[in-house]
Amino acid sequence: MSQTLKAVRGTRDLLPPETALWNRIEATARAVFARYNFGEIRTPIFEDTSLFARGVGEETDIVSKEMYTWEDRARAQSEKAQSLTLRPENTAGVVRAYIEHKLGETGQLQKLYYIGPQFRRERPQKGRYRQFFQIGAEVIGPPSSGSESPLRDAEVLEMLATLLDELGITGWTLELNSVGSAADRARYNETLRAALAPVVGQMCEDCQRRAVTNPLRVLDCKVPEDQPIIEKLPVIADSLDQESKDHFAAVLTALDAGGVTYKRNPRLVRGLDYYTRTTFEFTHGGLGAQNALLGGGRYDGLSEAIGGPKAPGIGFAMGEDRLVLTLQALDQKAAPPQVDAYVAPLGETVNPAALALARELRRAGLRIELGDGSFRLKKSFEAADNVARRIVILGEDEVQSGILTVKDFSTGVQSKVPRAELVSFLKQ
């Protein structure tokens, strides 16, 4: 026997009725984004590898360990072989599209959202997959569009609080920090390098390398033995200049006015290199170890890092898989959808008439399941009871007389309904 094939490790099939919950989350997100005047962007699932190397950062775990990258062969003389990567996140792709389509030349702030799969070769566990889904948004534009304003940061965070409320996700925590400007980060990197020099010899190999190439990334280290050293390292808040401090203070003031509660976390630096100034994460206790519902922040230098014009921006991505898990933990499981009626033909000769009846009811807006004339009546009832509120029985007699038998499962009442009245009867 040949071996049975399964979904690849870290990927999974999403099946009904759970997909109804996914659809509800996406519909709620789209509705909230529309109220804040965001439009949808869809970028390709794969991009040139260098986009992520330059955008997300060579020393990040994402780029150095987790990307699905391959060398794409040239198909014709006019093509070149190219290193391609399945997108591990969508911010770099959105900023690439912003540059490619010269969206900055409109002078307007661009407010873009996306919903789609991302890929990272991480160790799979609850809430962590190799193909996962993000719902994210980016606000980006030339400085003249107000893209640097702390009001943008506060507005994005307030929108997230509103979206989580509308999804019915209660009990989240917003953690907030500022990682400063590029100059602040450079200063902090030097401070870290100096602080690491006497102790780095006792740390893991990755940290020893990072202490030289990009000391900030030492803070991402998960090796338990390294944690006591990391906890004693200086925090970035002490390296911020006055402008960065003022920007952060203005974000907090606007959040207070907007009624968004937050917790400051001076150690929150996030695992991607493009962040500047405001960084944040929303966590939820119901998720276990992978407790980040979403993360984001400002990336004022990203566009320039990938060859574009100055275009400060801020955005976030929510882990949709984790939103689903959280809602399930809060016990809002997708209820199995009940169809309005199950049309049960009695005998195979009635099948065509049953299809015509189902078509009429469906076109009238009713949700209908269609049985099969080969089923005995008992089997039709069992099948109908599983999915539908009512059963509509259609035998030769009913076809002739135009009077149908309808049984309501919740009341047990059986009625005779003329065909012309069936739609309004079922809509009650």
Q: Which is nearer to ligand HAM, 239 or 279 (CB)?
A: 279
Residue 423 CB, shortest distance to ligand HAM, in Å, is 44
Angle, alpha carbons 183-241-268 (nearest 5°): 80
Please select the residue that binds ligand HAM; options are 184, 321, 340, 398, rule is CB under 6 A.
Answer: 321
Q: Which helix (H) or strand (E) holds 86?
A: strand 82-86
Bond preceding residue 124 cis, omega within 30 of 0 = no
Residue 135 CB, shortest distance to ligand HAM, in Å, is 9
Interacting residues with ligand HAM between 116 and 155 (CB under 6 A): 120, 122, 127-129, 132, 134, 136, 138
Residue 304 CB, shortest distance to ligand HAM, in Å, is 16
Residue 285 CB, shortest distance to ligand HAM, in Å, is 14
Interacting residues with ligand HAM between 291 and 320 (CB under 6 A): 292-297, 299, 315-317, 319
Residue number, nearest CB to ligand HAM = 319
Residue 322 in contact with ligand HAM, rule: CB under 6 A: yes
Cα–Cα dist 386/250, whole Å:
56
Cα–Cα dist 342/386, whole Å:
10
DSSP string, 220-268: G---GGGHHHHHTSPPGGGG--HHHHHHHHHHHHHHHHHT---EE-TT-
Cα–Cα dist 389/378, whole Å:
16
Interacting residues with ligand HAM between 71 and 100 (CB under 6 A): 89-91
Q: Which is nearer to ligand HAM, 59 or 138 (CB)?
A: 138
Q: Which is nearer to ligand HAM, 133 or 375 (CB)?
A: 133
Q: Which is nearer to ligand HAM, 116 or 271 (CB)?
A: 271
Q: Which is nearer to ligand HAM, 127 or 395 (CB)?
A: 127
Question: How many chain residues interact with ligand HAM (CB under 6 A)?
Answer: 27
Is the CB of residue 119 less than 8 Å from the CB of residue 87?
yes
Residue 357 CB, shortest distance to ligand HAM, in Å, is 45
Q: Which is nearer to ligand HAM, 142 or 315 (CB)?
A: 315
Is the CB of residue 289 less than 8 Å from the CB of residue 120?
no
Residue 139: CB atoms within 10 Å? 26
Is the CB of residue 100 less than 8 Å from the CB of residue 106?
no
How does 172-186 read in b/e, with b if 16+ C-beta sit within 10 Å?
Answer: bebbbbbbbbeebbe
Residue 296: CB atoms within 10 Å? 26
Cα–Cα dist 23/320, whole Å:
11
Q: Which is nearer to ligand HAM, 127 or 215 (CB)?
A: 127
Interacting residues with ligand HAM between 239 and 298 (CB under 6 A): 271-272, 292-297
Residue 299 CB, shortest distance to ligand HAM, in Å, is 6
Residue 107 CB, shortest distance to ligand HAM, in Å, is 22
- Residue 176 three-state SS: strand
Q: Which is nearer to ligand HAM, 56 or 358 (CB)?
A: 56
Nearest to 422 by CA among 387, 392, 389, 388: 392
Residue 168 CB, shortest distance to ligand HAM, in Å, is 17
Binding site for ligand HAM (CB under 6 A): 89-91, 120, 122, 127-129, 132, 134, 136, 138, 271-272, 292-297, 299, 315-317, 319, 321-322
